Amino acid sequence: MPEATILLDPLHAVGPVRRRTFGSFVEHLGRCVYDGLYEPGHPTANDDGFRLDVVELVRELGSSTIRYPGGNFVSGYKWEDGVGPREQRPVRRDLAWHSLESNQVGTDEFARWCALTGSELMLAVNLGTRGTAEALDLLEYVNHPSGTALSDQRIANGGTEPYGVRMWCLGNEMDGPWQVGHLSADDYGKIASRTASAMKMADDSLELVVCGSSGSSMPTFGEWERVVLEHTYDSVDYISCHAYYQERKGDLGSFLASSVDMQFFIDTVIATADHVKHRLRSTKTMLLSFDEWNIWYLDEHQASDEVNDEWRFAPRQLEDVYSAADAVVLGSLLITLLKNTDRVASASLAQLVNVIAPIMTEPGGDAWRQTTFHPFSITSRLAAGTVLRPVIDSPRYDTAVYGEVDLIDSVATWDAATGRGAVFLVNRDQTSERTVTIDASSLGAAQLVESLTLSDDDVYAKNTLTDQNRVTPHPNATATLSAGILTVTLPPVSWTALSFRRVAPK
């Protein structure tokens, strides 16, 4: 088979590796919070009721920023219900996911959970059923040091120090008719602008995310961004992107090329944002927050009875069990996010525990890693310094959805200060292994440190409660490094990470 070649050059720098690229997302949905990260009766639970086995897995995953508490949930959420003595907190109906919310986990508890995991809290405000005043109240509660009614209430509730939340989402998916309080682009742009301006009056160092389209298939995609940004450009810092992918009708070839659509999404939003920038004569460049992305078998869930007429606490919803192929696609999507690090400054894998998540739990029992856990955790661990856009010469294949696509995709990172680099690769070929030659001589690559590949003879193999390590990364013994040239053979439908270092002269 024809070989693929990759050239790495420090002159092909895209931008810095941003730790916020490795963010995640926790929503009050299904068993993400309750029976997921929070289970007071679990053997590993701490005094707050949080499962410490899950905390350890989140640390291993390498999640940086955690978006909370939604998601569709936030558009009907009263944050005041989730603070104060737990025994006094009300039970509410969550219209978004047709379930009951106990409010036993709220802002204070989740801030403490973030501290346990070493992650940054990113809060969303409710612009569906609430507005500017409530957003300002939440901001005062979490960030003001002391001496005001709401900051003193936080202190009385145990939050003696302010939480210092920097990133704030101005609502969620307000373009979607499924959203409680759904608005037109013009109406949403107006309330987002008012709320952003007020929040910046309270603290002009905040980083605010305005809602972009909830998917590239939305009929308003592109036009929504234009209208919203014309209202908000001067007062926000990011526009959000949301995208989910799944294999449909047995078309694995197109599914493996899902990152082509993600790149289209990013390119379109950048073009629209830059159009508004020039139209308004602004000197600011708008950044993107890809704050929901993942593999999600939405078609199957919509055909099920997971959301029904019953009002239940923490029902099992959206608990996708991921395959080896799903993990390869997730690794490919992460490659695309890194390739766009000059404009995609933040991202959140949706979600974190149980609900379309890399971590699964059993009540009273184990927590384990899904297949998708591995490419995320390894990329988070190895990526550092600067993102380099590789020059790739790859064989191509035909897809039903995206036309002709490269069989090999890749991105690299290089940390000149430490002399360490990493290359991340996917092989989309369903039947053949592919040998890839990577020229890293301009980086002084001299020693191979690590070579890991995730693949399986059965691309639909999964990790389950009874077989938790069916699909895991394994050392790739074919990888070699000589005279600055890396060579590696990639199995069919696989994701691979290589790390190397420059050896200083003696």
Alpha-carbon distances, residue 346 vs 57, 103, 144, 145, 291 (angstroms): 21, 28, 25, 27, 7
Given 80, 101, 134, 173, the catalytic residue = 173
Task: State yes or no: is 39 an active-site residue.
Answer: no
Closest residue by Cα to residue 425 from 484, 346, 361, 489: 489
Task: Evaluate whether 104 touches 86 at the Cβ level (below 8 Å).
Answer: yes
Q: How many angstroms from the chain centroid is the CA of residue 344?
A: 11
Given 39, 225, 247, 292, the catalytic residue = 292
Secondary structure E strands in 284-390: 287-295, 312-313, 344-350, 359-361, 367-369, 386-388
Angle at which helices 259-279 and 324-339 cross, to 10°: 30
Tokens of 495: 């994701």
Task: State yes or no: is 173 an active-site residue.
Answer: yes
Distance, CA of 203 to CA of 201 (rounded, Å) = 6
Three-state secondary structure of 195-211: HHHHHHHHCCCCEEEEC
Q: Where are the alpha helices (DSSP H) in 157-288?
A: 185-202, 223-232, 252-256, 259-279
Tell the residue number behind the tokens 């790149």, with chain if given: 263
Query: Angle at CA 486, nearest 5°, toward 480 and 492?
Result: 80
Active site residues: 173, 292
